């Protein structure tokens, strides 16, 4: 993926009141950390950020005054109602230095096991990788068309290109479960078996009546 560009301004004030003023001015509060000595409180233009996030990129070149920082997006907070940007975290990276990060896994296709009556169970939706900033994938796409009933796809089955997988190779990503069909006949048999296994409870009165008869 390519590199994107964004211009940011330093924020002198901190706190919720300052963040609200920044948003009213059409900007988004941000923080930059990583290789910089101390985290930098920034703000970026909301419209520019919105346009940028619609593109595909690996890193962002953020200009702060006369300095430029190569960063990746670490976290984005959005408004729960209107989905506008509330805050964004940037982490500075170095060219030629690998970083560890979580990447989403997207399952593509329809398993043959589903067509046979199986149930799809997606267990792991992201994996951790070690990768150079320039090679960061937007997502990892895994085809599951050939997955049959009782079969699973594991981390080791991912074709790693330009990155290293850090998760346990045996971790299951997705599997097709065997459907369990409980018939009325089976349920009845289970009830009878349970009743047969329960010991007979004799009350004190029944015991006395039995002794009197003897």
Of the pLDDT bands very low, low, confident and very high (cuts 50, 70, 90), residue 177 is: very high
d(CA 141, CA 181): 32
At 181 the pLDDT is 66
The CATH number assigned to the domain holding 168 equals 2.170.120.20
End residue of a domain, out of 45, 71, 93: 93
- Torsions phi, psi of 99, nearest 5? -125, 155
pLDDT tens-digit map of 71-105: 988 889 999 999 999 999 999 888 788 888 889 99
104, 171: one domain = yes
pLDDT of residue 192: 61
Tokens encoding 44: 């970026």
Pick from 65, 93, 121: which residue ends a domain?
Answer: 93
Residues 165, 140 share a domain: yes
Beta bridge partner(s), residue 29: 43
**One domain, residues 56 and 82:** yes
- pTM summary value: 0.63
The pLDDT value recorded for residue 90 is 92
For residue 196, give its domain range: 185-213
pLDDT band at 183 (very low <50, low <70, confident <90, very high): very low
Write the pLDDT tens digit of every residue in 97-141. Answer: 888 888 999 999 999 999 889 999 999 999 999 999 888 888 899
Cβ neighbours for 66, distance < 8 A, ≥ 6 positions apart: none
- Same-domain pairing of 79 and 7: yes
If one counts the domains in the chain, the total is 3
Asked if 77 and 67 touch (Cβ cutoff 8 Å), the reply is no
């Amino acid at each position: 993926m390519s590199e994107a560009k964004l211009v940011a301004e330093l924020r002198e004030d901190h706190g919720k009141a300052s963040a609200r003023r920044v948003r009213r001015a059409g900007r988004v509060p941000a923080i930059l950390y990583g290789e910089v000595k101390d985290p930098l409180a920034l703000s970026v233009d909301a419209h520019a950020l919105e346009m940028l996030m619609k593109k595909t990129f690996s890193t962002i070149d953020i200009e702060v005054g006369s300095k430029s920082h190569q960063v990746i997006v670490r976290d984005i907070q959005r408004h729960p109602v209107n989905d506008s940007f509330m805050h964004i975290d940037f982490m500075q990276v170095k060219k030629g230095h690998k970083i560890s990060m979580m990447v989403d896994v997207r399952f593509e296709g329809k398993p043959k096991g589903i067509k046979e009556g199986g149930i799809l169970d997606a267990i792991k939706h992201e994996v951790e990788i070690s990768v150079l900033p320039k090679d960061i994938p937007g997502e990892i796409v895994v085809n599951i068309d050939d997955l049959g009933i009782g079969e699973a796809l594991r981390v080791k089955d991912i074709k790693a290109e330009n990155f290293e997988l850090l998760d346990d190779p045996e971790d299951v990503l997705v599997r097709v479960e065997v459907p369990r069909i409980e018939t009325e006949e089976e349920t009845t048999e289970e009830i009878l078996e349970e009743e047969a296994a329960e010991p007979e409870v004799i009350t004190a009165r029944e015991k006395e009546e039995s002794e009197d008869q003897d």
